[in-house]
Amino acid sequence: MQSATKIVWIDYMNVSALIRQYFASHSNDVAIDVFDEKNIYDVYQRVNETLTRYVNIETTLLQALNYCLYEILDNVLTHSGKELGTVITYYNPEEHSLSLLVADDGQGIKTSLAENEKYANISEPEALELCIRDSVTDGKGMGFGLYSTSLLARDAGLRFDIRSGSHTLSLQGGESTVNTSDVWQGTIVYLKLRTDKEIDPAMVVANRTNVAEQYNEVFLNDNELEELW
């Protein structure tokens, strides 16, 4: 049963339109979670625990996604200027794919980056191109979350879009393009991944942290760990 807060937020964000646009015929099968600073870890943990139960999803993919997911959620609370965000997930076992969307109705990537005087005069397309580069930040973080997500998309991605304002950046095959799109007040990050491909999670985070160990300790029990070897 949805809470009143969740229903209001869904209506306010027009999440139904996002589901129609990004999840097409699977609208009845998506999972929707609303998060704020009080429940962000609970939502993050719930999404991970749900995905972990799907035995056909490659564990190495989940180990890398575990890191990127929290970074994307945290970006909403750190950079958007808003207190709430929403995450939508859908796993398609027949297609061997996992789709994830995180959205907010905040200030958008261009305005956020402009808080750093280095990026004060960039255009919206330039802001989208820059946000997936290493160490590009408005000054409130390390500038690694979307960069690591772009590396995940490089290794296992079927589609990776970042939509903010009147533009969308799409990353495929390591090449990015920015095109005009319908206006979205805030930012949408959409990621569609192959779930049957083994990857090296350490490469997704440029060997800066042990994401495999972090995921295993929290989301896998001893029996599941033994089955990995």
Q: What pTM was estimated for this model as a whole?
A: 0.91
Residue from 108, 40, 102 nearest 80 by CA:
108
Average pLDDT over residues 130-141: 94
**DSSP code, position 88:** E
pLDDT digits (tens, 9 = 90+) for 88-109: 999 999 999 999 999 999 999 9
Are the C-beta atoms of residues 183 and 164 closer than 8 Å to each other?
Answer: no
User: 14: left (phi > 0), else alpha (psi -120 to 50), else beta?
Assistant: left
Q: What is the pLDDT of residue 24?
A: 85
Q: Which CATH class is domain 4-228?
A: alpha beta
Residue from 95, 76, 70, 93 nearest 140 by CA:
76
